[in-house]
Structure 1
Amino acid sequence: MDLYLSLIRIGASLMLTFVAFSQSYRINKNANSYLATLFGVLTILFISTDVGEYISEKWIWLYAINILENNTILIPSFLYIAVYHFVHAPANFLKKHYLLFLPFLFVAIFETFSIWAETHSLALEDFIDTLDFIFLIGLWIFSLIVFYWVVKMLANHHKNVLKFHANTQGVDLNWLYKLMFIFPIYFIPQVVFYFISNQYYLTNISDITLFFMLFYSGFHIVQQREIFDLTMQGKVLAEKEIPEQIDVEKEGLIDEHLMLEIVNNLEKVMKEDKPYLNKNLSLNLLADKLNSRTHILSYVINSHYNINFYNYINNFRFDYCKALLKNPKKQHLSIEGIALEGGFGSKSTFNTLFKKQSGMTPTQYKNTNNQ
């Protein structure tokens, strides 16, 4: 049974490595490349763990296996770098990112020293065990700190993405955010392993959690959209740096007359062209349609309507879908069909927003108005 579990987790992680790598040719190039590297590290870890007992006892092989098994510490590092490139596209690898690999370097040096001491029959077992424990605690602390940084980065991204996208499905990285809270279910048993001898049940918990994490990740990796359109990246990044609360009038970028002109053009476009029916509508696309700049349009929507771009667009979608639900000629449409026709990316997003706006589900609203 252990052999089958080993083959399944090696196969699953290897499959995800290729899926993420193939996605890097399509969207979010750098981020998916580092995500593929992360799954590659997991694959190597599983292979080294599962086949280590069959490897020759020669110290060079033992050393290699020990190093590979300790590459667990690379998981937080590559996770941070992947998420960084998701939320800062098209960012480059920064020099400070090399610091994330220092713990692995320390582990490699420590393993080299441990194997050397063992092969030379040096009586340093107690000293090495103490160092091993200190390193282990340090690595756990390092992992927790990195996971905290990742969660914070994803939370900030979720706020920022509402300024640029009306449909956040596939770009808000909520799946990664949720994954951060599943990671402890996998890592906590690893911590407990160190202190107990009977690891059977804890191993099962870790394996089941790991399988869920792998397949959950795979599903969402293939559902991704380009977070920032490559053709608009320079414009987006330049304008993202302008704080939302900036006093644009004092900066001389817009006056009251220009604001009213943009508002009139915006309302005309929304009424006649209905751009909100495009589920991939972004602030950049709408600004281009109005021949305006992204941060100017964002300022106009925030100040004139007192809501962000995400809520502004979805209010139109909500009203449009309400009309469809009441329209006798549209009763053949399912709730999902109405959601998609109204510009929503999914039925679940539509249901959540509709209930928040009206206090009832779309189905309840439809039944109430068509009795």
Structure 2
Amino acid sequence: MSVSYINGVLDLFELAPIVFSEDDDFNTYLLLVIAFLFYFITFYFISKPKELIPNTKITKYKSSNLRPELIEKYKNALIQAMEKDKLFMDSRLSIHNVSKKLNIPRQYISEVINLHLNKNFQDFVNEYRVDAFVKNLQNDQHAHFTLFGMATEVGFSSKSSFNATFKKVKGITPTQFKNSIAKKKIIGTE
């Protein structure tokens, strides 16, 4: 095809065409072979991209000074701050707030959460919020709240963010989850 296009341009300037082969059958077969090669290379690239593209390691924290004992200490402090101090209930919680509260440099908090807990800060906090929401949903004392009312109680500030986060963590919507709890209670009382 390339030779054909080049010959088309050469023909415009009244120059002699490039003759690849005089045999039209050969040209047709060659075109078919090239088309199949292109197809198989494309198919291989789509089906196994990791084999063609080298896997790069995260070098974001390459020059970190965190030692294993500090990593464990910071990880435990973060978990305790969420589970006991319930920092996640603050709807305006940021990594900077946590850094000040725990007196841990922000970049170390980020590194511990990203590399050693395998999530980002927002997902880390939101998982605690979803767990607290589920506990409240199962508690009859919160039965008079709407779903979003309960969500704001545990630190969510937007309904869309709450719904998206809940579905990401639990795999179903908050309403579906509530309905499944109601079904379990009905079956349990029968």
TM bracket, shorter-chain basis: 0.5 to 0.7
Equivalent position of 2:146 in the other structure? 334
2-structure distance, mates of 1:276, 1:257: 25
What displacement does 1:330 show?
1.1
What displacement does 1:285 show?
0.3
Equivalent position of 2:172 in the other structure? 360
- Alignment of 1:298 with 2:113, yes or no, is no
Q: 2:86 aligns with which of 253, 265, 274?
A: 274
Q: Which deviations, in whole Å up to 9, do the C-alpha atoms of 1:247-277 show, x marking residues without a partner?
A: 244xxx2111111111111111111110000
Q: Which deviations, in whole Å up to 9, do the C-alpha atoms of 1:197-222 show, x marking residues without a partner?
A: xxxxxxxxxxxxxxxxxxxxxxxxxx
Alpha carbons 1:318, 1:354 under 8 Å: kept: yes
Greater Cα radius of gyration, structure 1 or 2 = 2
C-alpha RMSD of the superposition = 1.6
Equivalent position of 1:313 in the other structure? 125
2-structure distance, mates of 1:272, 1:367: 29
**Residues 194-343 of structure 1 correspond to what in structure 2 (within 5 A)?**
245-249=60-64, 253-343=65-155
2-structure distance, mates of 1:244, 1:369: 44
Alpha carbons 1:326, 1:370 under 8 Å: kept: no
User: What letter corresponds to residue 152 of structure 2 in structure 1?
Assistant: L
User: What letter corresponds to residue 97 of structure 2 in structure 1?
Assistant: L
SS in 2 for 1:338: helix
1-structure distance, mates of 2:145, 2:86: 20
2-structure distance, mates of 1:279, 1:355: 19
Q: Which deviations, in whole Å up to 9, do the C-alpha atoms of 1:150-191 show, x marking residues without a partner?
A: xxxxxxxxxxxxxxxxxxxxxxxxxxxxxxxxxxxxxxxxxx
SS in 1 for 2:69: helix
1-structure distance, mates of 2:88, 2:59: 22
SS in 2 for 1:273: coil
What displacement does 1:356 show?
2.2
What displacement does 1:244 show?
7.3
SS in 1 for 2:119: coil
The 3 A distance-change label for structure 1 pair 365 and 322 is same
SS in 1 for 2:62: coil
2-structure distance, mates of 1:335, 1:327: 13
Residue-pair matches, total:
126
User: What letter corresponds to residue 345 of structure 1 in structure 2?
Assistant: S
2-structure distance, mates of 1:364, 1:287: 36
Alpha carbons 1:335, 1:347 under 8 Å: kept: no
**Residues 138-149 of structure 1 correspond to what in structure 2 (within 5 A)?**
none
User: What letter corresponds to residue 178 of structure 2 in structure 1?
Assistant: K
2-structure distance, mates of 1:265, 1:328: 32
Equivalent position of 1:344 in the other structure? 156
2-structure distance, mates of 1:323, 1:332: 15
2-structure distance, mates of 1:290, 1:248: 23
Specify which structure has the higher proportion of helix.
Answer: 1
Structure 2 stretches lacking a partner, 5+ long = 1-57, 184-190
Post-superposition, which runs of at least 4 consecutive aligned residues in structure 1 deviate over 3 A? none
Structure 1 stretches lacking a partner, 5+ long = 1-242
2-structure distance, mates of 1:244, 1:328: 48
